[in-house]
């Protein structure tokens, strides 16, 4: 595909799958540049980002740093970017609050994880394995000069660009849109080969429903090309958005098919999704979070019901 005007991708390495993540360097109207995302906080990633920025601009020319969401492969280099450029930071308001809370209250975060696992039926043995890994480390939060709310709007300091709230992968995920040529910088809201993970979070009641709504908002835009956080550019946006909607809905229905009239915990349902699989604890954490998010969506849609046992364990069954 033809290079979008004034936008360059900078790919930085990851020590886990997917093996790479993209940042984007955007030339602004009237001079200066905008950096979108960055990479994991590692020496290799910083070297790649530094070289990529230096190939087109100096760090002093960065006018705005936008982070699409709070996951460490996107936000991890925010502090180094701030030190090198002094540029103000913009990110989704909900993610900014969550980022700050996770860093300032690590004990509470650990307690939340334990309560989530125990309250959804995780066995004592698996609970111990999950807790050994601990919560995902979080970089010390910076001041976010431009918190981006759910209403969307014109991006500050970046004429011609707007932001779109695209929750699901995280509660505060945002994508950036340039109406002049239909270009979308999507972070992890739209990926070319896989469906973005949508897991339960403590900020939103129905993250799967949020994600489906986000796909609808994106579908209302005149999109010509999508630049994702991982993988190749998406040149058939409408087709890919339809695929993601279908895949997300199909996953909810597949999880609903694992329910019966007899109540089951989210942990039991997650194990039915992956029968006989010996997954590492981190993968089981993700499986539980995703399963619970889809169960919550089924409840919101009236297709499942939930109840608490006498031991305060949450269970789900056919509505």
Please tell me whether residue 307 adopts helix, strand or coil conformation: strand
Interval 67-83: pLDDT, tens: 999 999 999 999 999 99
| Domains of the chain, residue spans | 7-104+137-252
Please provide the DSSP assignment of 83-148 as one string. HHH---EEEEHHHHHHHHHHHH-HHHHHHHHHHHHHHTT--HHHHHHHHHH-SPP-PPPPP-SEEE
Give the CATH class of 7-104+137-252. alpha beta
pLDDT above 90 for 138:
no
Which band of pLDDT confidence, cut at 50, 70 and 90, is reported for residue 196? very high
pLDDT above 70 for 134:
no
pLDDT above 90 for 93:
yes
pLDDT above 60 for 148:
yes
Interval 217-235: pLDDT, tens: 999 999 999 999 999 999 9
pLDDT for 79 equals: 96
Range with lowest mean pLDDT among 19-23, 138-142, 192-196, 234-238: 138-142
Q: Which phi and psi (to 5°) does residue 211 adopt?
A: -65, -40
pLDDT above 80 for 243:
yes
pTM of the entire predicted model = 0.95
pLDDT for 160 equals: 98
Pick the residue with more confidence: 190 or 279?
190
pLDDT above 90 for 179:
yes
| For residues 255-268, average pLDDT | 97
Separation in Å, CA 205 to CA 105, 215, 249, 286: 22, 18, 17, 17
| For residues 106-122, average pLDDT | 91
pLDDT for 131 equals: 78
Q: Parallel, antiparallel, or unpaired for β 161-165 and 153-154?
A: antiparallel
Which band of pLDDT confidence, cut at 50, 70 and 90, is reported for residue 107? confident
Please, what is the end-to-end C-alpha distance for the chain in angstroms?
A: 48
| For residues 193-198, average pLDDT | 97
- Which residue, 297, 272, 293, 96, is CA-closest to 198? 293
Range with lowest mean pLDDT among 37-46, 76-85, 102-111, 306-315: 102-111
pLDDT above 60 for 137:
no
Q: Which phi and psi (to 5°) does residue 272 adopt?
A: -70, -30
pLDDT for 253 equals: 97
Name the percent of the chain lying above pLDDT 70.
97
pLDDT for 132 equals: 72
pLDDT above 90 for 205:
yes
């Amino acid at each position: 595909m033809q290079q979008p005007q004034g936008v360059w991708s900078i790919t930085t390495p990851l020590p886990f799958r997917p093996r790479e993540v993209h940042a984007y360097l955007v030339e602004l109207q009237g001079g200066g540049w905008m950096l979108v995302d960055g990479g994991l906080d590692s020496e290799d990633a910083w070297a790649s980002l530094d070289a990529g920025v230096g190939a087109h601009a100096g760090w002093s020319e960065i006018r705005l740093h936008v982070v699409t969401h709070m996951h460490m492969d996107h936000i991890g280099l925010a502090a180094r970017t701030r030190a090198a450029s002094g540029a103000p930071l913009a990110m989704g308001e909900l993610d900014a609050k969550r980022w700050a809370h996770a860093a300032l209250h690590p004990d509470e975060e650990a307690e939340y994880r334990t309560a989530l696992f125990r309250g959804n039926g995780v066995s004592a043995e698996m609970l111990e394995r999950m807790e050994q890994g601990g919560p995902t480390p979080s970089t010390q939060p910076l001041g976010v000069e431009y918190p981006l709310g759910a209403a969307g709007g014109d991006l500050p300091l970046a004429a011609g660009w707007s932001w779109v709230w695209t929750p699901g992968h995280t509660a505060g995920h945002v994508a950036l849109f340039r109406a002049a040529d239909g270009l979308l910088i999507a972070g992890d809201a739209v990926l070319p080969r896989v469906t973005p993970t949508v897991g339960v979070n403590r900020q939103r009641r129905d993250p799967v429903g949020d994600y489906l709504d986000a796909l609808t908002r994106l579908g209302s835009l005149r999109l010509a090309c999508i630049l994702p956080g991982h993988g190749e550019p998406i040149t058939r946006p409408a087709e890919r958005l339809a695929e993601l909607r279908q895949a997300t809905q199909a996953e909810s229905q597949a999880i609903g098919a694992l329910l019966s009239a007899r109540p089951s915990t989210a942990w039991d349902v997650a194990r039915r999704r992956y029968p006989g699989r010996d997954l590492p604890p981190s993968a089981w954490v993700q499986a539980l979070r995703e399963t619970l998010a889809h169960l919550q969506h089924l409840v919101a849609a009236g297709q499942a019901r939930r109840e608490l046992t006498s031991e305060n364990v949450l269970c789900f069954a056919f509505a």
